[in-house]
Amino acid sequence: MTERLEDIALKMMSSGKGLLAADESTGTIKKRFDTIGLESTETSRRDYREMLFRTDAAMTNCISGVILYEETLFQKAADGTPLVDIIKAAGAIPGIKVDKGAKPQALFPGETVTEGLDGLADRLKTYYDAGARFAKWRGVINIGDGLPTWGSIKADSQALAHYAALSQQAGIVPIVEPEVLMDGKPGTHSIDRCAEVTEWVLRTVFTDLYDARVNLEGMILKPNMVIDGKNARKASVEEVAEKTVKVLKATVPSAVPGIAFLSGGQTSEEATAHLSAINAGYDLPWSVTFSYGRALQETALHAWGGKAENVAAGQRAFRHRAEMNSLAALGNWTQELEKAA
């Protein structure tokens, strides 16, 4: 029997669990590996991700789904077990990043549009057969002098809606990710400017999703938090939580089952603290959790260092961050728990 999109989405938003974004492109993971002096090869990328996926306590108790890069979806562990099967054995759902990245938008200096719609319907069938039950597509919005423009927001919004419709047609839950960058150029905007742009973007996205006949109960939203620019950080944890919730309540229909935040340039502990404050302080119509990449993985990557003898240390670091974010998804994280763990 075909799984209902709504049921998959609800499982992705299981209480106290969130998503591990392990979908770094080959170029991005090379940059991460460069920080530990490790060459990025198919084998080293596999070993790193296998280390994470085999962290049983973290995967079983804290992770509901894993976003994969295409290479990883078809990779096998060192012992020949498909990585997808390791994820499933932990009770998590395999997913797949399907966009082809943000490219410069013609006639819109300083802005991008995400590509990857060509051939997507056929790729989604292949991904479904390989075990993927959700997908992710990221649109990127930069705040700057005169940016963003309506034309750029609209182009990315329509691409997100088209992708979401194609995904649902293939039996795959779409994660819709419109990211207003905190670390874009110049990254000096205020939290109020971020709130204004984020509200503009989300209103546009949900209008286009509706026009594309996307089933809101069978999708997940992956937005940025409302936060000041990376080079202008002043906002408190409480202010980030307050303004994020205000924007979401003004734009996100209650039919959407869940919101899984991206970390978007925040430190690991910042991303955890903000998520916990949002869940602890507000009555929300959606499940709210994490869909973190670097904020879940950075300490694990450095603890591992690319060395087989450090796998256990890497797994301990990953488990710690997963457990802290699991607490945050319930609104129960505190700095005291962070330090005590």
Active-site residues: which are they? 177, 222
Q: Say if residues 224 and 275 touch (Cβ distance below 8 Å).
A: no
**Residue 39 DSSP label:** -
Phi, psi torsion values for 284, nearest 5 degrees:
-115, 145
Residue 203 neighbours by CB under 8 Å, 6+ apart = 251
Phi, psi torsion values for 324, nearest 5 degrees:
-65, -40
Q: Which two tokens stand for residue 64?
A: 């509901």
Q: Say if residues 110 and 149 touch (Cβ distance below 8 Å).
A: no
The b/e string for 67-95 (b: 16+ C-beta within 10 A; e otherwise) is bbbbbbbebebeeeebbbebbeebebbbb
Q: Which two tokens stand for residue 291?
A: 């869909």
Q: What three-state secondary structure class fits 310?
A: helix
Phi, psi torsion values for 209, nearest 5 degrees:
-65, -45
* Cα distance between residue 174 and residue 98, in whole Å: 10
Q: What three-state secondary structure class fits 180?
A: strand
